[in-house]
Amino acid sequence: MFKQIRYFQSVVQLGSFTAAAEKHYISQSAISQQIKAFEDELGVPLLNRRKRSFTLTEAGEYFYKKSLVLVSDYDFICRELQRISGQKGEQLHIGVLKGYCGAEFQNAVSEFTAQFPDVTIDVMYDNHDALYELLRNGELDIVLNDQRRAFSDEYVNIVLDIREYCAEISANSPISQLDEVDIADLKNTPIILLSSPEQQETERRFYCQDLGFKSEICFTENMDDAHILVIQGKGFMPIEGSCDSLQKAVKTVKLIRNGQPIIRWYCAFMRTDNPTKHTQEFIEILKKQF
């Protein structure tokens, strides 16, 4: 019954028997027959069918709304049964660069969950080197990270995007009126970085030695704390984009070095010998988001 309900929901949501059939990897005739059989079981029509379209009957509209709650409750009960019985089910362990604020990863998780609802995604946020070590030790299956070292044949290395560094700075700062600013001109403005205490020295070397920042560094472990510091004018935070929710409080200014943009490469990494199921499926979904 629940399979038929999901078929019905997909037809309504996608507005097409063909699209719903493709989503569930069955033929259009099969999904049509399943929904017709379900209507016969209920004893009421849910859809008014026309040649190339359909509309919901009054009963169909009522059932659709109630079925969304019903299926949500059923899915929750199934997950609780697994938890109570001690069955964790399939899991993917994914590491994400701390401070990454793009929506691509969240969108990938959403699409993956829709396709593989029985797989739990466990997410860890950390700095570059910490994520690299966790991947190398087999504690993570996939890592979304920036590139700071040459690609290795031990890993599947996928370039997702190439972005220019920007700075989030308080809207009250005079610097926020600029479209771009050279990092040499920010030497008297502290740079705010997200890092655990164990990774602070690594992050300091990267930003000072590799990227050439001369600013005093202020470390915090929490994105919300970092934003509060920025809003109060306590410094600037290097990012690869902007945070839409803070448009009035902060401004995004392009960072340059010697007149040229500073480039950041974002990649997905996985071990070539990774035995975990669905890693490749998640990678393919993630690539489509960029």
pLDDT digits (tens, 9 = 90+) for 27-75: 999 999 999 999 999 999 999 988 778 999 999 999 999 999 998 888 8
Q: Are residues 96 and 67 in the same domain?
A: no
Q: Are residues 72 and 107 in the same domain?
A: no
Cβ-Cβ contacts under 8 Å for 171 (sequence gap 6 or more): 248, 249, 250, 251
> Angle at CA 140, nearest 5°, toward 139 and 146?
130
Q: Which residues of the chain have pLDDT under 70?
A: 86-89, 240-247
Give the number of domains in the chain: 3
Q: Are residues 155 and 187 in the same domain?
A: no
Instruction: Name all contacts of 70-75 with Cβ < 8 Å and 24+ positions apart.
Output: 70/5, 71/2, 71/5, 71/6, 71/9, 74/2, 75/117
Exposed e or buried b per residue across 97-111, where buried means at least 16 C-beta atoms within 10 angstroms of its C-beta: bbbbbbebbeebbee
Q: Are residues 148 and 283 in the same domain?
A: yes
Q: For the chain, first and last CA: distance in Å? A: 37
Q: Are residues 170 and 253 in the same domain?
A: yes
Q: Are residues 198 and 184 in the same domain?
A: yes
Q: Are residues 99 and 221 in the same domain?
A: no
Say whether pTM exceeds 0.85.
no
Q: Are residues 256 and 198 in the same domain?
A: yes
Q: What's the CA gap between 140 and 142, in Å, rounded? A: 6
pLDDT of residue 119: 87
Domain end residue (candidates: 84, 100, 134)? 84
Q: Are residues 191 and 66 in the same domain?
A: no
Question: Domain range for residue 276?
Answer: 90-160+265-288
Identify the CATH number of the domain in which residue 278 sits.
3.40.190.10
Q: Are residues 234 and 192 in the same domain?
A: yes
pLDDT of residue 68: 92
Q: Are residues 226 and 270 in the same domain?
A: no
Q: How many residues does the chain have?
A: 290
pLDDT of residue 241: 54
Domain end residue (candidates: 23, 58, 84)? 84
Identify the CATH number of the domain in which residue 9 sits.
1.10.10.10
Q: Are residues 140 and 282 in the same domain?
A: yes
Tokens 């069918």 found at: 49
